[in-house]
Amino acid sequence: MIDGVKVYDLTKYEDERGWLMETWRTDEHGFQAVMSYVSQTNPGTARGPHEHVHQADYFIFMGPGRFKLYLWDNRKDSLTNSQKMELEAGEGEPKAVYVPAGVVHGYKCISKGPGWCINLPDKLYKGPGKKEEVDEVRWEDKEDSPYKIE
C-alpha cells in the first residue's frame, strides 16, 4: 500500500426493489469533495497516468465495467516514496479509492464493455469559474515517463 491511499470495499444492499450502495460519507472519510463527475472509458483504454500537485481524488468504481488501477508515490517526503500499487475494481468488486495529491495515478478498462468511474475531487476543475490552470502533471504525454500503464 502507498501511504495515504485508502481503498474502501463498497457494499451493495439488494432487495426486491433493486439495490443501494453508499459511496462516500464525510463522517467516514475526513475528506471534503467540491465537485463530482462521471466518465466512461472504452475497453482496453487507459486514462493517465497523471498526478495533481494540490488536488486529491476520490474515485468510485462500482460498474458497469472493470478497471485495473495503477498508483505510484511521487511525494518526496512520503514514507512510501517511489512505491507502486496496483489493484482491480469495478463490477463484481466495487471499491472507492482515495488518492492524495502527489500520487501518480491512472486506470485502464479491462472489461469487455465500457466502464464507468465517478470522481469526487477536493478542488474545482480549473478553479472557480474555470479560470485557473489545470492542476495536473500529464505523465502519459512524456516519452521518458517512468510511469507506464500496461
Q: How many CA atoms lie within 13 A of 72 on its CB side?
A: 15
Cβ-in-10-Å burial (0-12, 13-18, 19+) of 133 comes to exposed
Q: Which domain holds residue 92?
A: 6-141
pLDDT of residue 12: 93
pLDDT of residue 29: 78
The x, y and z cell numbers of residue 112, run together, are 469487455
The x, y and z cell numbers of residue 117, run together, are 468511474
In a domain, 148, yes or no: no
In a domain, 1, yes or no: no
Dihedral, 50, 35, 96, 117 alpha carbons, nearest 10: -70
Percentage of the chain beyond pLDDT 70 is 100
- pLDDT for 73-84, tens place per residue? 999 999 999 999
pLDDT of residue 26: 87
Count of structural domains, the chain? 1
In a domain, 22, yes or no: yes
**Residue 103: strand pairing partners:** 73
Secondary structure class of 128 (helix, strand, coil): helix
In a domain, 114, yes or no: yes
CATH code assigned at 136: 2.60.120.10
Q: Above 90 in pLDDT, residue 150?
A: no
pLDDT of residue 149: 96
The x, y and z cell numbers of residue 145, run together, are 515517463
In a domain, 39, yes or no: yes
Q: Above 90 in pLDDT, residue 131?
A: yes
- pLDDT for 36-94, tens place per residue? 999 999 999 999 999 999 999 999 999 999 999 999 999 999 999 999 999 999 999 99
Indicate the pTM of the whole model. Answer: 0.94
pLDDT of residue 137: 95
In this prediction, residue 28 has a pLDDT band, given cuts at 50, 70 and 90, of confident
Residue 82 CA: distances (Å) to CA of 1, 21, 35, 53, 102: 12, 34, 29, 16, 11
In a domain, 147, yes or no: no
